Amino acid sequence: MTSNEGRVYDVGYKPFEGELEGSFALVRSIALDTMRRALGLRRRGRSKIVPWALVAGTTFPALVTLIIMFFSGSSPFASGADPLSGSRDLLETVVLLSLLFTAFVGPTALIPDRRDGVLNIYRSRPVRARDYLLGRIGGTALLVMLFVAVPLGLLFAGQAALHPDGIFVGVGAMARHVPSLAGTILALSLAFVSPVMLVSLWAKRSGAATGMFMVAMLVLDGFTEFVSEAGTGIGSRVLVLLSPIENLLATRDWLLNTTATDNGVGRAVLLADMPIWSGAVVIGSVAVVTAGLAMWKYKKELGR
């Protein structure tokens, strides 16, 4: 069958006629981009070295612990020990690596967009400051949580698998600890991501932000230890709450029901004169202040 009618198309350009997605998809795209950038995925090889070395650094102790447990048959269930002891010890090891990881990946969330002028692109897209920050800061917080959750999850699965009555009984026995572990991981992420974002809101270079964050964290930690040893007055007790690391460890002790004797470090003693949950309150408050400041700054940057 033939037709005399015809149409000419410009194949060089096709208008977009699909459906547009909403703000949830927008936040997801920004968060995924944040995580890819932080881990150096689809970037040059050099940008992968530090994050992946740190990931290996957290996973390795979990694997070693599991291997020792497997070959020695020293499952906490078999010996009647507290099944959370391995997780507590691992958290102790992971805290410093998490701090380094956050210091390295945190500044890459906000600073490059400002430095390279890329915010201009967000200004011509239906991206609110809220969406942008949820994607960038939320993506970083999620990544830091995964950084800790992966080795803990490995340990969790390994311990469950070594249960004398089988893996399913093991999972059941471990499951009741999941909320406390999840809360601790969230606290760790907030404790470190909030201050690194505070620095990143104003720093012009990622390297400088990493340095400032690390110095601030270590100085505050040293200062609070000094203050706590120097006196027990109300001033000293309040000053103890300045250190995100101490607040995190106090929160961990609170959520995982640890005492100073249990973990052998005695950090909770620093907060002995304060309610043990006060560390969690400070972590939450710093997160809220950071979110408020970030919204204030980026509403101006993005126009809404």
Partner 1 sequence: MNDSLISLQGLHHAYGSQVALTDITAEIPSGQIGLVGANGAGKSTLIQNLLGILTPTQGSASLFGLPVRENLMAVRRRVGYMSERTALPLDQTAADFLIYAAQLAGISNNDARQRASEILTLTGLHEERFRHIREFSTGMKQRVMLAQAIVHDPDLVFLDEPTAGLDPEGRDEMLALIARLGSFGINTVVSSHVLTDIEAVCNWVVMLDGGKLLRSSALEALIDSAVIQLEVFGDTGPVISELSTRGAQVSQSGSVLEVRLAGEDPHSLVMDALVSARAGVRSLKSKRTSLEDVFLAEGETT
Decide whether 43 or 167 has the Cβ nearer to partner 1.
Answer: 43
Alpha carbons within 13 angstroms on the beta-carbon side of residue 136 total 27
Location of structure tokens 């040893």: 229
User: Residue 172, Cα to own-chain centre: how many angstroms?
Assistant: 27
Cβ pair 38, 210 in contact under 8 A: no
Decide whether 28 or 177 has the Cβ nearer to partner 1.
Answer: 28
CA angle 69, 176, 66 (to 5 degrees): 15
- Least Å distance, CB 125 to partner 1, is 4
Decide whether 122 or 254 has the Cβ nearer to partner 1.
Answer: 122
- Least Å distance, CB 54 to partner 1, is 19
Decide whether 1 or 20 has the Cβ nearer to partner 1.
Answer: 20
- Tell me the residue type at 208: A
Q: For residue 99, give both structure tokens.
A: 């701090």
- Least Å distance, CB 214 to partner 1, is 23
Q: How many CB atoms lie within 10 A of CB 283?
A: 24
Dihedral of CA atoms 45, 50, 54, 56 in degrees, nearest 10, equals 30
- Least Å distance, CB 48 to partner 1, is 11
- Least Å distance, CB 272 to partner 1, is 48
Cβ pair 246, 224 in contact under 8 A: yes
- Least Å distance, CB 193 to partner 1, is 22
Nearest-CA neighbor of 87 among 188, 165, 169, 218?
188
- Least Å distance, CB 290 to partner 1, is 24
- CA–CA distance, 87 with 76 (Å, rounded to integer): 11
Decide whether 90 or 129 has the Cβ nearer to partner 1.
Answer: 129
Decide whether 26 or 162 has the Cβ nearer to partner 1.
Answer: 26
Binding site for partner 1 (CB under 8 A): 10, 12-16, 18-22, 25-26, 29-30, 33, 37, 42-44, 47, 112-113, 116-128, 302-304
Decide whether 5 or 10 has the Cβ nearer to partner 1.
Answer: 10
H helix runs in 162-277, sequence order: 167-175, 178-200, 206-230, 234-239, 244-255, 260-263, 267-270
Cβ pair 204, 115 in contact under 8 A: yes
Decide whether 123 or 205 has the Cβ nearer to partner 1.
Answer: 123
- CA–CA distance, 62 with 55 (Å, rounded to integer): 11
- Least Å distance, CB 115 to partner 1, is 10
Nearest-CA neighbor of 131 among 5, 30, 236?
30
